[in-house]
């Protein structure tokens, strides 16, 4: 019990120890795709999910939740984001005597876009492509019947036309069930890693971060070196603290309530409130995120026992405020499929 308390306290103090810069600094972090959540169940509850998660989607929300399932699982999640942005997530988990292991991949793309000339402010007829990618390896284990701990190590990559950057980050989390009304406390630190920096060699001389003020022409093209020093940027590290409990639980139906506080390095703290009502094999969800553009959420779920597995099909809609377009298909929709076998 003493070791469990030490781990919980350490997790709670990590954001304070590792970064004294956790205050609203909009636009100061890159790789924003890491903040787009997966799993329609979680999104239907307005992301108040750190203490609820107990299946393969825990890879994103709180790796410790992986240890709460005794079955192998496969998951696919698709997000139709605003501005024709598409976000995909795939994961597989496997239970072993040593704990639960999982492999995951996240991919975001905006498709092809037109190149705009900065002098004429018009399209050139050319197109460019960009994408974001994260590949993760997770491990989780239950150390008592009430406490679990887990982590995910991720490789990160972003490609913007001809430029790219690579990095890594770590997610860690814990869940603790108090035993009273299924009250569970969850904590997760996501996207903890070093700053990243693009390496740009526009003048093709094999050198980067050059000094344009030394009046040198290292590549001999008759022009003073163009590649100024690229600035580092943070990745969107965040810390979530949540609590979830049973409001009602009977044989055929149940109601779960969850509250969560999120702190991220490039925005103000948000407060998430979510509910899930389950009746037989159907689920109805709703929630609200305070202090964020993405506010109201709602979703549905259907649990389908099949011959070799149990399938969970979930859908969620998130209201995006001023970011939304009039077309129904341009709004933020999520669909996810999970198989446990």
What confidence tens digit (pLDDT) does each residue in 281-291 have?
999 999 999 98
Q: Based on C-alpha coordinates, what's the Rg of the chain? A: 22
Residue position matching structure tokens 């205050």 = 23
Domain boundaries defined on the chain: 2-195+222-340
Query: What are the backbone dihedrals phi and psi of residue 47, each rounded to the nearest 5 degrees, phi first?
Result: 65, 15
- For the segment 30-74, what is each residue's pLDDT rounded down to a tens digit? 889 999 999 999 999 999 999 999 999 999 999 999 999 888 999
CATH architecture of 2-195+222-340: Beta Barrel (2.40)
Res. 209: pLDDT tops 60: no
In this structure, are residues 187 and 240 in contact, taking their beta carbons and an 8 Å threshold?
A: yes
What's the confidence (pLDDT) of residue 21? 47
Res. 7: pLDDT tops 50: no
Higher pLDDT, 50 or 222: 50
List the one residue out of 175, 245, 243 whose CA is nearest residue 4: 175
pTM of structure: 0.83
Which region among 6-10, 79-83, 105-109 has the lowest average model confidence (pLDDT)? 6-10
What's the confidence (pLDDT) of residue 224? 59
Tokens of 5: 């308390």
What average pLDDT does the structure give for the chain? 84
Res. 175: pLDDT tops 90: yes
- Range 4-18 burial, b when 16+ CB lie within 10 A, else e: eeebbeebeebbeee
List the one residue out of 199, 208, 239 whose CA is nearest residue 226: 208
Average pLDDT over residues 136-151: 95
Query: What are the backbone dihedrals phi and psi of residue 299, each rounded to the nearest 5 degrees, phi first?
Result: -165, 165
């Amino acid at each position: 019990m003493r070791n469990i308390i030490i781990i919980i306290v350490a997790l709670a103090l990590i954001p304070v120890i590792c970064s004294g810069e956790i205050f609203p600094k909009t636009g100061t972090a890159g790789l924003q795709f890491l903040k787009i959540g997966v799993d329609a169940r979680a999104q239907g509850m307005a992301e108040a999910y750190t203490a609820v998660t107990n299946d393969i989607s825990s890879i994103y929300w709180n790796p410790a939740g992986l240890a709460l399932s005794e079955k192998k699982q496969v998951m696919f999640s698709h997000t139709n984001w605003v501005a024709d942005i598409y976000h995909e997530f795939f994961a597989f988990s496997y239970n072993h005597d040593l704990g639960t292991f999982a492999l995951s991949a996240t991919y975001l793309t905006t498709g092809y876009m037109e190149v705009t000339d900065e002098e004429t402010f018009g399209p050139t007829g050319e197109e460019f492509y960009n994408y974001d990618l994260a590949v993760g390896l997770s491990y989780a284990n239950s150390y008592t019947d009430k406490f679990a701990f887990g982590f995910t190590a991720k490789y990160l990559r972003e490609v913007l036309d001809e430029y790219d950057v690579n990095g890594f980050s770590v997610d860690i989390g814990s869940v603790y069930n108090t035993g009273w009304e299924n009250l569970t406390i969850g904590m997760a630190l996501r996207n903890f890693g070093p700053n990243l920096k693009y390496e740009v060699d526009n003048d093709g001389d094999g050198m980067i971060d050059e000094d344009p003020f030394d009046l040198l022409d290292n590549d001999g093209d008759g022009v003073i070196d163009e590649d100024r020093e690229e600035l580092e940027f943070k990745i969107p590290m965040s810390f979530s603290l949540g609590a979830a409990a049973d409001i009602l639980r009977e044989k055929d139906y149940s109601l779960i309530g969850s509250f969560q506080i999120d702190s991220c390095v490039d925005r103000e703290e948000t407060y998430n409130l979510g509910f899930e009502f389950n009746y037989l094999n159907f689920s109805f969800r709703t929630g609200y995120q305070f202090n964020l553009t993405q506010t109201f959420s709602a979703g549905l779920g259907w649990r389908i026992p099949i011959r070799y597995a149990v399938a969970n099909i979930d859908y969620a809609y998130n209201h995006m405020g001023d970011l939304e377009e009039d077309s129904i298909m341009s709004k933020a929709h999520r669909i996810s499929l999970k198989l446990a076998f």
